[in-house]
Structure 1
Amino acid sequence: MTQDYKNILVAVDGSDEAELAFQKAVSVCLRNKAHLLIAHIIDTRAFQNIASFDETMVEQATSMAKQTIAEYIDFAKKQGLTDVKELIEYGAPKPLIAKEIPTENNIDLIMLGATGLNAVERLFMGSVSEYVIRHAPCDVLIVRTNLDNKK
């Protein structure tokens, strides 16, 4: 028995790991004839610690996110994927990716790049992928390799 996924979420953050997850998400969507939701979370908590907080910082982050997602959508469509949507959210990435977005969008598979954090960073911050694995209401696939299953 094979698992068919219909609504796939891939969370991107501009990292190489997220790029690998995105590419595999497109491939999985094509095989499953699934809908792809590309999400980018702008972590507004990072801006709260800056004394000279300026709304232009959020606008710049949003502009960069839109540009990156537009490139991802263009790539997905060139691969033959027609059912692609984007989502830019503001807030804490962990609960948004693990709970809110999947619940609101009937997601049955979340795909994420493997964490780029080292052991000390994971100890203090915890990785998003680790949190999502523990709290998501659906299957989670952590991508570590490219489309040829090589690092």
Structure 2
Amino acid sequence: MTPISIGTDAPDFTAKDNNKQNISLSDYKGKKVLLSWHPIAWTPVCTDQMRSLETNFQNFQGLNTVPLGFSVDPQPCKEAWATLLQIKNVSLPSDFWPHGKIARDYGIFDDTKGMSKRANIIINESGKIQWVKVYPSEQLPDINEVLQILSNNS
């Protein structure tokens, strides 16, 4: 599966997040959106990835960007995990059902493992794909690289 191409329209989605709220891409028109995909909750690298989003929440706000921490874990799992990690600002949507549909729409679902790949996807204010990077599953994405990309395209 090939990741979604830069310049294409980002597929809209609606997913329940860790706060039991429905999150839709269309809610964020006029803002940039970072889809920060992690394979599965409760694992060390995924934990660090979501904590880096929370730690940098003010930086994202300053860059007119909404960070979303996506995975195929079910909503109750994301809720418990976010509580444990003390994630209070960043929304952690669940792509559980239909299983991995959003990840498939963005070209980052791993059919052999039944979960998303680790990836960061930036959607610009107009709803177009601006930047895509897929990482080895054991690699923590460099949050400073993401912030740099966002600030270069402000």
Is this a same-fold pair by TM over 0.5? no
TM score, norm. by length of structure 2: 0.41
TM score, norm. by length of structure 1: 0.41
Structure with max Cα Rg: 1
